[in-house]
Amino acid sequence: MHLENYHRLINELKPAGAKLVAVSKTKPVGDIRALYDEGQRIFGENKVQEMADKQLQLPADIQWHLIGHLQTNKVKYIAPFVSLIHSVDSLKLLAEIDKQAAKNGRIINCLLQIFIADEPTKFGLDEAELHQLLGSPEFKTFKNVSICGLMGMATNTEDLTKVETEFEHLKQIFEKVKAQYFSEQPIFKELSMGMSSDYKIALKHGATLIRVGSMLFGDRS
């Protein structure tokens, strides 16, 4: 645990008006509890089962964010409690989230994950797929999901100029989509980008949520 990094990070986020998602994947509930005791309430996990297990063992006022790839058949396990799903990357997945949210009498907040990196392994929609999704008749029928913004991951590289270009690109997509589809929905306001290695760049380019793990909890082995 790096509590000194936590407090430094919180102070860095204040002037930017951004929020911290403390990424606790692979870390024990004791570590989450320690950060909770410092005042942190938003935690991010990338696996459904792990998040559901931890949720049962920790205070009910924690806001659980799913940041990893989500399979349609697993939505039901997190639908009762998840606070924000960052990783929506298909209409089919969104339809299932809508269905499970309705079953639970909830509206589930979602971000659409956009592919901005120069790596074949990362999930996400490209710009054409994003417009296809938002323009589809089915999308307009969803009553139990709320699209709160976009999420993206930059290429894992030392080349910070490249990372900066990718974050700026995502910011531009965000502004365009907001104007085109969400001009009357102020809830579309979140831009989730930046991790331990690149959150400073992300903040410079308009991130409202940063997802930081190893800088707070130490390396994952």
Backbone phi and psi for residue 216, each to the nearest 5 degrees, phi listed first: -95, -45
Least separation, in Å, of the C-beta of 113 and ligand PLP?
9
Closest CB to ligand PLP among residues 149, 213: 213
Least separation, in Å, of the C-beta of 220 and ligand PLP?
7
Task: State which residue has the least CB distance to ligand PLP.
Answer: 213
CB 66 within 8 A of CB 47: no
- d(CA 86, CA 180) in angstroms, rounded, equals 21
Closest CB to ligand PLP among residues 46, 55: 46
Least separation, in Å, of the C-beta of 54 and ligand PLP?
15
Per DSSP, the residues of 48-110 read: HHHHHHHHHHS-TT-EEEE-S---GGGHHHHTTT-SEEEEE--HHHHHHHHHHHHHTT--EEE
Closest CB to ligand PLP among residues 147, 210: 210
Least separation, in Å, of the C-beta of 110 and ligand PLP?
15
Residues of this chain that bind ligand PLP (CB under 6 A): 23, 25, 46, 67-68, 153, 195-197, 211-215
